[in-house]
Amino acid sequence: MKEEYLKVFEAIAAIPPGRVASYGAIAARAGLPGRARLVGRLLGEVPDGMTLPWFRVLRSNGQIAMPPGSRGFREQSRLLRAEGVEVKNGRVPLSRFGLDADVDRELWGIPGR
């Protein structure tokens, strides 16, 4: 397993419950800025036995990446809602649930949730 891949899996595993992160943000946190596609690729072939909070990874605009109505799409929505994340029309308000929202609120004093 390549070192790069491990870093990506680590970054995903580090997303706290009730929060979400974009593919690009994960790539950046793994030290691979600009390589969001790699993150998407890896999630499609997670090694057997490894469990990851894959459902906490969304597109940069907060949308679920899988085809609307597909099994994965519904499963992801369910898992997110199960931990308190708001999913409306296949989309999550990153302003409130995104990891970076913490930083934003600290910088600007914007009330969250």
The least CB distance from residue 55 to DNA, in Å, is 7
SS3 content of the chain, % helix, strand, coil (to 5): 50, 10, 45
Piece of 59-67, 77-85, 97-105 that binds DNA (CB under 7 A) = 59-67
Residue 46 Cβ vs DNA, minimum distance, rounded to whole Å: 7
Among positions 17, 18, 47, 72, the unique one binding DNA when judged by CB under 7 A: 72
Q: Does 37 bind DNA (CB under 7 A)?
A: yes
Q: In the chain, what is the straight-line distance between the N-terminal and C-terminal CA atoms, in Å?
A: 38
Among 15, 22, 92, 101, interactor with DNA by CB under 7 A: 22
* Helix residue ranges, H only, 1-113: 3-13, 23-29, 36-43, 71-82, 94-97, 100-108
d(CA 11, CA 74): 24
60 binds DNA (CB under 7 A): yes
**Residue indicated by tokens 């994965």:** 72
Point out which residues bind DNA (CB under 7 A).
22-24, 34-41, 43-44, 54-55, 57, 59-61, 65-66, 72, 76
